[in-house]
């Protein structure tokens, strides 16, 4: 038999009572042993989807440019109009870059300005051509990384089918 009283649990040992109260703002208050703690009951997806007031906001005029069938050796250019729809300066945190989903030989995107004041705009352009041996479907995703708290990594898509 263990004589150490501190490690024994007896029927007279009391556990703290837990009391839950749900507030209208989506919070629950838990009281443990007389101390109250706030616990969010709002799903994180809803919290993340809420717009940040006064923050910079990246606005792109289109999400996809689809050139369809393109003959070899023809130069094509995809242009995206970019605007800061927020109330603070929009900064590109790194240069736009291309992720190759399908195809080969990604071009280099060119961004007009790296910093946009509220309401100001710029252009993102991507020019390229393909040659024999580089044919078929191409799917490029251009990543636009900014300080927009709601959309820190926006992607736009460029599709083409070289023949």
State whether 70 and 131 are in the same domain: yes
pLDDT in tens, 42-85: 444 344 445 567 799 999 999 999 999 999 999 999 999 999 99
Kindly indicate the confidence band of residue 116, based on its pLDDT and cuts at 50, 70 and 90: very high
Q: What is the pTM of this model?
A: 0.68
Q: Is residue 34 pLDDT above 70, yes or no?
A: no
State whether 67 and 25 are in the same domain: no
State the Cα–Cα distance between residues 123 and 145, nearest whole angstrom. 15
State whether 97 and 115 are in the same domain: yes
Q: What is the CATH number of the domain that holds 107?
A: 2.60.40.10
In the prediction, which pLDDT does 54 show? 78
State whether 114 and 143 are in the same domain: yes
Domain that holds residue 97: 58-162
Four-residue CA torsion sign, 47, 53, 54, 56: positive
State whether 76 and 106 are in the same domain: yes
Cβ contact 124:112 at 8 Å: yes
Cβ contact 128:140 at 8 Å: no
State whether 93 and 154 are in the same domain: yes
State whether 38 and 77 are in the same domain: no
State whether 82 and 36 are in the same domain: no
State whether 80 and 102 are in the same domain: yes
Q: Is residue 146 pLDDT above 70, yes or no?
A: yes
What's the total number of domains in the chain? 2
State whether 128 and 150 are in the same domain: yes
State whether 19 and 93 are in the same domain: no
State the Cα–Cα distance between residues 128 and 108, nearest whole angstrom. 9
Question: Does residue 7 lie within any of the structural domains?
Answer: no
């Amino acid at each position: 038999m263990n004589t150490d009283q501190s490690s024994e649990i007896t029927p007279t040992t009391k556990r703290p009572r837990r009391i839950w109260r749900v507030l209208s703002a989506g919070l629950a208050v838990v009281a443990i042993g007389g101390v109250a703690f706030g616990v969010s009951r709002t799903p994180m997806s809803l919290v993340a989807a809420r717009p940040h007031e006064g923050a910079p906001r990246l606005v792109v005029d289109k999400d996809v440019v689809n050139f369809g069938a393109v003959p070899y050796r023809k130069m094509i250019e995809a242009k995206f109009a970019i605007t800061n729809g927020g109330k603070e300066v929009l900064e590109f945190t790194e240069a736009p870059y291309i992720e190759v989903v399908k195809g080969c030989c990604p071009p280099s995107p060119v961004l007009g300005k790296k910093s946009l004041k509220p309401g100001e705009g710029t252009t993102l352009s991507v020019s390229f051509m393909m040659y024999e041996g580089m044919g078929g479907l191409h799917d490029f995703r251009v990543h636009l990384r900014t300080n927009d708290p709601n959309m820190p990594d926006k992607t736009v898509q460029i599709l083409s089918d070289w023949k």
